[in-house]
Amino acid sequence: MVVKVHGSVRAACPQRVLACLLEKDVEFEIFHVDLDAGEHKRPEFLLRQPFGQIPAVEDGDLKLFESRAIIRYYAAKYVDRGPNLLGNSLEERAVVDQWLEVEAHNFNDLVKTLVFQIVILPRMGEHGDLALAQKCEQQLEKVFDIYEQHLSKSSYLAGDSFTLADLSHLPAIRYLVNDAGMGHLVSERKHVNAWWEDISNRSAWKKLMELSKY
């Protein structure tokens, strides 16, 4: 059964799901959702995702939304296939969940706001709020300092292996480094830089970059 992913291949949350499906070698088909035309706010789409956001996933009869719940589903469903993305014990799983929460609450909103102001709004022909973007950048410096300290003791966020905790960061960091001119946040930190080089060179992520045709 081919997994249907409704969303844009270049949008962060669908990318989170696609990266996981690629890591687990799960066959999928992307159904593009035209955000500019407001397709995600139309009644037909709201049946898939009641908050009008992407992605929405259809796997046979199962309908899913919220990218971090979706990646946890596939990581558990295919736990014996490909890399183990969830940790090997209850405690390791808790640390994976911990860093997924960090990504969701201490990292993601800062990146989203910054990217919206200096990438998305200008693309739409509007002026972004540079002061707000700068504030986000300053806060991200502090967050990345904490990551730097942590990654100086641990190869990956949740321990010695790549897990969902690392995967979940890939789309947002790509935006920072490639689109927002914020690569210095990564490159100025030795361990964050090594970690980013490692996780962004995984074959699953590279395959997604090819699919996204940047």
Of the pair 95, 211, the CB lying nearest another protein is at 95
d(CA 9, CA 70): 16
In the complex, least distance from residue 150 CB atom to another protein, rounded to whole angstroms: 7
Among 41, 138, 146, 214, binds another protein (CB under 8 A): 146
> CA dist 113 to 84, 128, 134, Å?
32, 10, 10
Among 100, 133, 136, 199, binds another protein (CB under 8 A): 100
In the complex, least distance from residue 127 CB atom to another protein, rounded to whole angstroms: 21
Sequence-separated (6 or more) residues with CB below 8 Å from residue 119:
175, 179, 180
Give first-to-last CA distance, the chain, whole Å: 28
Contact 214, 206 (CB under 8 A): no
106 binds another protein (CB under 8 A): yes
d(CA 75, CA 101): 17
Of the pair 72, 202, the CB lying nearest another protein is at 72
Among 4, 10, 32, 93, binds another protein (CB under 8 A): 93
In the complex, least distance from residue 66 CB atom to another protein, rounded to whole angstroms: 4
Strand partners, 4: 29, 58
Identity at 143, one-letter amino acid code: V
Among 27, 37, 80, 90, binds another protein (CB under 8 A): 90
Label the pairing between strands 56-59 and 3-6. Answer: antiparallel
Contact flags string 26-55 toward another protein, x per CB under 8 A = ------------------------xx----
Binding site for another protein (CB under 8 A): 50-51, 62, 64-66, 68-69, 72-73, 76-77, 90-91, 93-95, 97-98, 100-102, 104-106, 143, 146, 149-150
